């Protein structure tokens, strides 16, 4: 009999932008969102958690990534304007919201919260919106993000990942106050392979990136009994390359990894919210 494992799959930065600068899942017919829908077709039990941004304001980056990192290493802190007029606020993309709602109503997609704007005026790449923010302002942004989801009638779960992995103790306290259930905190794979609790919220570590080989996915499954696969919706934004973005190449890689896992294991696919519920029950038994 095959051993049973859990597989979750999640992507950051989901919002209705799809154009020459980047594709974050804005078009159900093509690109990133199409690839995600194709995966759902090929793997009928698969569930995908999308960390969505209800009013994305980061603008595409025009400087080659290595210059950006060099400037940051030298302590240069640019002030960067975001998009004016909140062009990607969900209520300006009602049709897109309808398409996403239909898929999530079918029980295949769930939305979690990835900030309000994703933007930090002092950081260019992957704006760490919450880095250095006070608890009250954090609370305000989280509640504003939820209001936008509610206003466009897009269901979401109380799960959070900080844009650009930028958060602090104030962020966690604000989320706990707002009744958040789980947080994805660790950007680097393999830092932590077991779930834990922080401020009463379940911490779900990432342990597989969609750019890693199928063999890596198998090794992670063997080690942890669970594969939390993670990627970004966009592969490029302006001149920025997002290393584990859902490019056609990473899409093929991910398909191969999911197939390989299915061949070797009895796979139970869960949403991150479902995984968090099970992890919380297990952690409270151990306590």
Q: Which residues of the chain form contacts with Zn ion (CB under 5 A)?
A: 12-13, 163
At its nearest, how many Å lie between Zn ion and the CB of residue 261? 26
Distance between CA atoms of residues 37 and 41, nearest Å: 6
Which residue, 156 or 269, is less far from Zn ion as judged by CB? 156
At its nearest, how many Å lie between Zn ion and the CB of residue 12? 4
**Could you tell me if 25 and 18 are in contact, meaning their C-beta atoms sit under 8 angstroms apart?**
yes
Which residue, 52 or 267, is less far from Zn ion as judged by CB? 52
Distance between CA atoms of residues 254 and 275, nearest Å: 20
Which residue, 139 or 161, is less far from Zn ion as judged by CB? 161
Contacts for 251-256 with beta carbons within 8 Å, 24 or more apart? 251/35, 251/38, 251/39, 253/210, 253/211, 253/212, 253/213, 253/214, 254/9, 254/39, 254/210, 254/229, 255/39, 255/42, 256/214
Which residue, 163 or 205, is less far from Zn ion as judged by CB? 163
The phi, psi pair for 214, rounded to 5°, reads -55, -35
Tokens of 145: 């993000």
At its nearest, how many Å lie between Zn ion and the CB of residue 45? 27
Which residue, 39 or 123, is less far from Zn ion as judged by CB? 123
Q: Compute the C-alpha angle 273/155/250, nearest 5°.
A: 60
Distance between CA atoms of residues 36 and 258, nearest Å: 13
At its nearest, how many Å lie between Zn ion and the CB of residue 25? 12
At its nearest, how many Å lie between Zn ion and the CB of residue 192? 20
């Amino acid at each position: 009999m095959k051993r049973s494992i859990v597989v979750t799959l999640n992507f950051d930065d989901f919002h209705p932008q799809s154009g020459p600068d980047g594709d974050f899942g804005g078009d159900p017919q093509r690109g990133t969102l199409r690839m995600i829908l194709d995966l759902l077709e090929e793997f009928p039990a698969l569930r995908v958690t999308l960390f969505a941004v209800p009013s994305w304001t980061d603008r595409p980056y025009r400087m080659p990534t290595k210059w950006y990192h060099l400037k940051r290493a030298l302590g240069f802190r640019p002030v960067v304007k975001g998009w004016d007029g909140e062009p990607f606020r969900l209520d300006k993309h009602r049709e897109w919201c309808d398409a996403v709602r239909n898929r999530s109503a079918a029980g295949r997609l769930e939305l979690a919260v990835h900030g309000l704007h994703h933007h930090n005026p002092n950081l260019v790449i992957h704006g760490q919106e919450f880095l250095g923010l006070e608890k009250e302002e954090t609370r305000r942004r989280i509640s504003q993000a939820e209001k936008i989801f509610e206003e466009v009638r897009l269901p979401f779960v109380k799960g959070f990942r900080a844009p650009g992995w930028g958060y602090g103790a104030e962020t966690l306290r604000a989320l706990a106050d707002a009744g958040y259930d789980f947080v994805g905190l660790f950007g680097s794979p393999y830092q932590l392979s077991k779930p834990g609790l922080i401020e009463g919220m379940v911490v779900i570590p990432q342990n597989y990136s969609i750019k890693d080989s199928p063999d890596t996915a198998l090794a992670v499954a063997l080690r942890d009994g669970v594969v939390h696969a993670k990627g970004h919706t966009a592969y490029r934004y302006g001149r920025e390359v997002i290393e584990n973005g859902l490019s056609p190449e990473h899409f093929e890689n991910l398909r191969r990894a999911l197939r390989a896992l299915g061949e070797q294991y009895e796979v139970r696919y869960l949403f991150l919210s479902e995984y968090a519920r099970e992890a919380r029950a297990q952690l409270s038994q151990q306590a």
